[in-house]
Amino acid sequence: MNKRILMIGTGGTIASKQTDNGLKPGLSSEDVLSYIPQVKDVCEVQTIQVCSIDSTNATPEHWMLLTRTIEEQYDKYDGFVICHGTDTLAYTAAALSYMIQNSRKPIVITGAQKPIDMDVTDAKTNLLDSFIYAADDDSQDVNIVFGGKVIVGTRAKKVRAKSYNAFESINYPYSAVIQDGMVIRYIPTVPHKYRVRFYHGMKNSIYVLKLIPGMKSDILSYIFKDYDCIVIESFGVGGIPESIVNEFYEEMSSWKEKGKLVVMTTQVANEGSNMTVYEVGQKVKQDFDLIESYDMTLEATITKLMWLMSLPDMSFDDMKKGFYKMINHDILFTR
C-alpha cells in the first residue's frame, strides 16, 4: 500500500514566478505538485500551504509554524515533505531537528535553484527524489534531499549560490543518495527507542560576531549588553585576538554572573574548532569555561542555542550539557 505523505508549501524559489521585480513565490503547493505527475507511482500525496515567502524572510516563528503543522498532522501521514527556499533551508532543517526529536517518520526538506515551471530546472528532480525518500520504509528524522543527496538536517550548508549541487554535508557523510528512483543508504537507520517529541519555543536573543583582523573592541559592550547569547566566529581552530581581548575579559567577567552565554565557533566550514591548540584560545577557554561548537555547523549551533534558551529553568551547566548532547548527528567530538 502506498505511503501517505503530506507536502507542506512555504514558498521559495521552487514555487516562484517571474515578476517585473524579479522572482517571487507565486505557485501553490498543488501547482508545484502538478509538475511531477509520476509521483502517483511513489506515494499518495496531500498538500497544505502554510506560508508563501522568500526564505530570506524566514524567522523562528516560521519554524514554530512548521512544527505545529507537523505535530497536528503527525498521526495522519507516514511522512512529510517541506518545499522551502534554499537561502535559509539549512537553518530550517537544523531548527526542526531540535524542535521535532525522535521522529520515526521522515521529515524531508527540499527546494530548488530554479522555479519548477521553468523548462530547465532542478526542481522536478529534487521534489520527486524527496517523495521517494519520504516513502522509503527506513527513512526517519529531519533530512534534506537535494541534488540526489540525502543530508542530515543538522549537517547541511549552502555552499553554492547558483549551481544545482548547492548543498554539502559538513563534517558528516551523506547518509544516502537517490539513484534511478531508489534510495541507496551509506549509513544504516537505527530506529528510535522513544516516542516523537515536539518543542514549541525558540529564543532569538542571539548575536553572531564574525571576527576580522584588527577588529575594534567597542562593539563588544553593545552586544554583551543587548543579547543573552553571543556566538563568536573565530579564525581557524579558535581564539580571541589581542585587539579585543582586554575588553572581552571585562565583559565576560560581568556576563558570567548574569548566566549569559558565549559560544566559540570557527569561520572555517570543515573540520571544526579546538581552542586548546593555541595560546590565543586555550587561556580564554580555561578562564571562562567557554562552550565550543567543535564540528557543528554554524546553522546547527545557532538553532540549537535558540532551542536550549527557550527551555525553562536552564542553568549554565544544563545549557552546556544540553549543547554537547548529540541530536540528529549534530556533534561528534567534544574535548
Dump pLDDT digits (tens) for 88-112.
Answer: 999 999 999 999 999 999 999 999 9
Residue type, position 260, single letter = K
Residue type, position 157, single letter = K
At 286, the pLDDT band (50, 70, 90 cuts) reads low
Computed over every residue of the chain, the mean pLDDT equals 89
The structure's pTM equals 0.93
pLDDT value for 18: 77
At 279, the pLDDT band (50, 70, 90 cuts) reads very low
> For residue range 289-305, what is the model confidence (pLDDT) as tens digits?
778 889 999 999 999 99
Question: Is 157:266 a contact under the CB 8 Å cutoff?
Answer: no
At 288, the pLDDT band (50, 70, 90 cuts) reads low
At 276, the pLDDT band (50, 70, 90 cuts) reads low
Residue among 138, 246, 116 at smallest CA distance from 192:
138
Q: Could you tell me how many residues make up the chain?
A: 335
For 246, the 3-state DSSP assignment is: helix
Which has more pLDDT, 235 or 54?
54
Question: Is 179:147 a contact under the CB 8 Å cutoff?
Answer: no
Which has more pLDDT, 74 or 249?
74
pLDDT value for 315: 86
What span, in angstroms and rounded, lies between the C-alpha atoms of 105 and 81? 11
User: Which cell numbers in the block locate residue 321?
Assistant: 550539557
Domains 4-198 and 206-324 share a fold: yes
> For residue range 128-178, what is the model confidence (pLDDT) as tens digits?
999 999 999 999 999 999 999 999 999 999 999 988 999 999 999 999 999
Q: Is 13 a catalytic residue?
A: yes
Return the minimum-mean-pLDDT range out of 51-55, 83-87, 197-201, 236-240: 236-240
Question: Is 71:161 a contact under the CB 8 Å cutoff?
Answer: no
pLDDT value for 19: 80
Question: Is 63:96 a contact under the CB 8 Å cutoff?
Answer: yes
DSSP 8-state secondary structure symbol assigned to residue 170 = S
Catalytic residue selected from 10, 13, 88, 301:
13
pLDDT value for 24: 76
Assess whether pLDDT exceeds 50 at residue 278: no
Q: First vs last Cα of the chain: how many Å apart?
A: 48
Instruction: Kindly state which CATH superfamily the domain 4-198 is placed in.
Output: L-asparaginase, N-terminal domain (3.40.50.1170)
At 235, the pLDDT band (50, 70, 90 cuts) reads confident
What beta strand segments (E) does the chain contain? 4-11, 16-19, 22-25, 44-53, 79-83, 100-101, 106-110, 141-146, 149-152, 156-158, 167-169, 176-179, 182-185, 197-198, 206-210, 229-234, 261-266, 291-292
pLDDT value for 283: 61
Q: What are phi and psi of 98, to 5 degrees?
A: -90, -30
Max Cα-Cα span within the chain: 65
The full set of domain ranges for the chain reads 4-198, 206-324
CATH class of 206-324: alpha beta
What span, in angstroms and rounded, lies between the C-alpha atoms of 302 and 14? 26
User: Which cell numbers in the block locate residue 233?
Assistant: 566566529
pLDDT value for 335: 61
Rounded mean pLDDT, 213-239: 83
